Amino acid sequence: MYLVTGATGSVGKRIVRRLRDRDLPVRAFVRLASNYAELEQRGAEIFIGDLAQERDIRKACRDVRYIISAHGSDSGQAQAIDYRANIDLMDFGQENRVDHFVYISVLGTDRGYQDSPVFKAKREVENALQKTDLNYTILRPSGFASNLLPLAERFRDTGIYFAIGDLKNRSSILSPDDLAELAIQAPDYEAAQNQIFAVGGPEILNREDIPRIFSQVFEKEPFVINLPLSVLDGVRSALGFLNPDLQRSLGTLRILLANEFFCTSEEIHRLESVFDIQMESLESFLKRYLLNR
């Protein structure tokens, strides 16, 4: 039995779909308020719980062989959900002698960003996981291509592309379908045991390449609106008076916009050879989701 947390999220639902496509037993950890009908229809065992509750995690871990931690957190919940819930999953995973623990972290978590509780939580979880006696694989993804789907749809309708921050910043935009595949396959590959992988798409893209790719996909000239990072800083300081939690959460967004998150060609080569996979380009992902459906 696989336990998948964040089973309704962008990568979690793809993990569940793929496991069920192979007829493998999956327990999907979901919240009652979430939309989990599709997972149920695919034959996943639905476990209703809250990752802030240790007793829910304890129950969910019973009789599982693999844990795939693929959840994220709501604003202001980094300590409880990004940190504590993962520590609990590891503790109960060890108690239940699970075979393998796959942890979805984030690219750049080792850079020690102090302004983001999420980045800090992920670094602490990675450190803690490496000290357990669990077999593990840590996947550190760059930004998901699925985040760009709403922007691409707007571009298709209007030709407009909005970006905040430096257009020269590089990223390795990643298909969440590929990430799901890696998470599922990690326990099977000897060379993925107790390893950390940077995970990204096959090309290093400047942010200004994104409207260019949209333009190729939709055969439309791009009109780029580029706002400076100071706009986000202004919004963030104003929010500080009204909603300090949201202000802190925007620290993660600021880090993502102000810095570069890309994988080197050596990192992609290592990933593709260990997992015997060819990572999908952004253009191919967009065509698959927006042109062929």
Ligand X SMILES: NC(=O)c1ccc[n+]([C@@H]2O[C@H](COP(=O)([O-])OP(=O)(O)OC[C@H]3O[C@@H](n4cnc5c(N)ncnc54)[C@H](OP(=O)(O)O)[C@@H]3O)[C@@H](O)[C@H]2O)c1
Least Å from the CB of residue 50 to ligand X: 5
DSSP state letter for 64: -
Task: Tell me how far the alpha carbon of residue 166 is from its chain's centroid.
Answer: 23
Residues 97-116: x where in contact with ligand X by CB under 6 A, - otherwise, as a string = -------x-x----------
Least spacing, CB of residue 8 vs ligand X, in Å: 4
CB 73 within 8 A of CB 7: no
Burial 143-176 (b: 16+ CB within 10 A, else e): bbbbebeebbeebeeebebebbbbeebbbbbbbb
Of 84 and 100, CB closest to ligand X: 84
Give least dist CB 241 to ligand X, A: 26
Residues 135-194 that bind ligand X (CB under 6 A): 141, 143-144, 147
Residue 212 three-state SS: helix
Taking the least distance from each CB to ligand X, the nearer of 159 and 290 is 290
CB of 49 to ligand X, least distance (A): 7
> Considering only residues 16, 26, 60, 81, which one is a binding residue for ligand X as defined by CB under 6 A?
81
Instruction: Give the contacts of 262 (CB within 8 A, at least 6 positions apart).
Output: 107, 142, 170, 171, 172, 200, 204, 205
Place of tokens 């802030």: 52
- Is residue 200 a contact point for ligand X (CB under 6 A)? no
CB 201 within 8 A of CB 281: yes
Binding to ligand X in span 4-33, by CB under 6 A: 6-12, 31
Nearer to ligand X, 104 or 271 (CB): 104
Tell me the C-alpha to C-alpha distance, in Å, between residue 125 and each of 61, 87, 89, 120, 190. Answer: 18, 7, 11, 9, 22
CB of 88 to ligand X, least distance (A): 12
Of 38 and 223, the one with the shorter C-beta distance to ligand X is 38
User: Which residues, including other chains, have CB under 8 Å from residue 137's CB and lie 6 or more apart?
Assistant: 100, 101, 102, 103, 186, 187, 192, 193, 194, 195, 196, 197
Site mask for ligand X (CB under 6 A), range 43-72, x = bound: -------xxx-----------------xxx
Nearest to ligand X by Cβ — which residue? 9
Token couple for 129: 């996981």
Binding site for ligand X (CB under 6 A): 6-12, 31, 34, 50-52, 70-74, 81, 104, 106, 141, 143-144, 147
